[in-house]
Amino acid sequence: MIFIPQRITLKNLPPEFFFAECERQYFFERAIEKKMTSKEYFENKLNNSSKRKCSRLAKEIKSIKDKFNWVANCGEYKCWKIQNKYVLNGDLNEIVKNIAFVFERIQEQLIIKQRNLKNDESGESIFSRIKNDWDIGYGIKIKDIKGSAIKDKLINIADERKLKSQIKRIQKQRNELMKLHSGLIGSGRTFEICSDEVVRDRDAAEQKQYEYILSKYVVYADHKKIPLSKVVSTEKQRFAEIYVQVSSLDTYAKRLDYKPLFITFTAPARFHPKPSKGASSWDGSTPKDSNDYLKGLWNAFRKDIHRHKIEMNGFWAVEPHKDQCFHKHALMYVNRKHYDELVILVNKHFRHSENAVRIEEIDTKKSKATSYVMKYLTKSFNMDFELKDGVLNIDKLEISNHKKVRAVQALWSVRRYAMFGVKNTLSLWRELKRKSFLKGKNEALDKAFTFVERNDFIGFSMFVNGKLKIRRVFNEIQIMKNDLLGDVFGKSLIGKYIIDLETNEVIDIKSTCKIIDASSLDSAAI
């Protein structure tokens, strides 16, 4: 975002002139800072020589101040410094304050566009005019802020508490990038996958979360009290949930006689800081950039699959190389008549080099497709697993030494896994898993429970699709009021319901409860 002073009415003022004046002014200010440091040093000396030097420095400082140009008191000059000269360290509150200042100036320029939109017949909103590559200070782009849409990103910038959290995350990312640029991360380097600092930060965050869970109880309307640790989903439970999904998908694919294959997708050499083979051609891209690149290829690939009407479903997982660049594994089940066409499309979208794609046909006589893909999921879940007669043995799940993989995924906000080709009804599945009291509330709901009880996730998904749907009701929370962008609202969940789409029956599934400290159990009441 280029900040040209709106109140300056010089005719034909080019941006280059403004930026040159900023550079000149900044030079003066830095010179004064250095001379002020020297002056303070000599002021502490009591001899005559030091007094003379102090007097001379005071005159030099005044002389430089007289050279200050017209941008000195210009708000856009402050924006320029925040965007181009300030380093992302120091006092967090000051950083947040400065970014808020830049954000205000961005909005001041956007309001001009907003006024023009009133007479615009294109129907575009002001949010469509905001670009992801705009700098909000310290080299931070709007795209660096979490949020699936521009509006969500703006909320995270406008809300001071959320912005602080974003800045902390970006600071950690930049510290890790410094190590990548220094060649400290990679195969055979000081660190493999990530630095010890990233792992320690992740461990500390998880420990803090764990201590919070242990200190809380859930109190329901009937005064029933349950430790929060018994309600929240554990790592083992989440892993078991994924196993149920994958194994159910495998059973479904066998029933359709789909062909299983395992594909690994890698990013081009320019995303690899320290490749295991060959010379580095890294262009400075972040690990998140490598994941975003693969996401873009994957989305284009899925559109092509849909366009060619290829019958396919599966599961994918993402993990980092030893140099932190991400790659993707996908277990695919494809209709045998579409196999050749699928391979062509995979190569079309992902084979940017000879070794970019690895396609493996799974021999189901030698190994189950389920166990094949779970090997890679364990890296994401920090779990060692054991299969007993082809079934996951929960008792044998143990924490493994794969913390680095998970820490890197958390650092760069990379989604670990997902299903594709099957209607995702995981939220509804989870609700029924933990809310058995809903049995008997509705005929379709009771039928859905039969799939849940036998861990048939695919059968469940196929049954509830078009029959049952979760609906969430939110309260709007005003984030920005009478702002240049207008009123901007966030959301707060106030109700959760299951809708029977055939009968329009509404079933309230939100439990009436609250979370309290263990020390407050006796006085707890709803």
Q: How far apart are CA 415 and CA 448, in angstroms?
A: 28
Beta bridge partners of 199: none
Half-sphere exposure of 167 (CA within 13 A, CB side): 25
Residue 381 in tokens: 């879940």
Return the structure tokens found at 262. 């395992």
φ/ψ bin of 164: left (φ > 0), alpha (ψ from -120 to 50), beta (otherwise): alpha
Q: Per-residue pLDDT tens for 411-434?
A: 999 998 888 987 768 888 888 888
Residues 248 and 406: beta-carbon distance below 8 Å: no
Cα torsion 38, 39, 43, 46: sign? positive
CB of 444 within 8 A of CB of 468? yes
Per-residue pLDDT of the chain (526 residues; tens, 9 = 90+): 455 554 444 556 677 888 898 999 999 999 999 999 888 888 887 778 888 888 899 999 999 999 998 888 888 888 899 988 888 888 899 999 999 898 888 877 777 666 666 555 555 666 777 888 889 999 999 989 988 888 888 888 888 888 999 999 999 999 999 999 999 999 888 898 999 999 899 888 888 888 898 888 888 777 888 888 887 877 777 888 888 888 888 888 888 899 999 999 999 999 999 988 878 899 999 999 999 999 999 999 999 999 999 989 998 989 999 999 999 999 999 999 999 999 999 999 999 888 899 998 887 777 677 776 777 766 666 555 555 555 555 455 444 457 888 899 999 999 988 889 877 688 888 888 888 888 888 999 999 999 999 888 888 988 988 889 888 888 777 665 555 555 666 677 778 889 999 999 998 887 777 888 887 775 544 4
Strand blocks (E) in 302-356: 312-320, 326-334
The structural domains of the chain, ordered by start, are 15-143 (no CATH), 235-420 (3.30.70.1910), 426-520 (no CATH)
Check: CB of residue 373 under 8 Å from CB of residue 331. yes
What's residue 397's pLDDT? 47
Q: CA-CA distance, 134 to 79, in Å (whole number)? A: 13
d(CA 36, CA 40): 6
Could you tell me which residues come within 8 angstroms of residue 300 by beta carbon, excluding any fewer than 6 positions away? 349
- Asked if 420 contacts 314 with a C-beta cutoff of 8 angstroms, the reply is yes
**Closest listed residue to residue 126, CA positions, set 156, 105, 151, 159:** 151
Which of the 8 DSSP states describes residue 182? T
Nearest C-alpha neighbor of 376 from the set 416, 348, 335, 424? 416
211 contacts: CB under 8 Å, gap ≥ 6: none
C-alpha dist (Å) from residue 2 to 75, 99, 106, 135, 141:
13, 15, 9, 9, 13
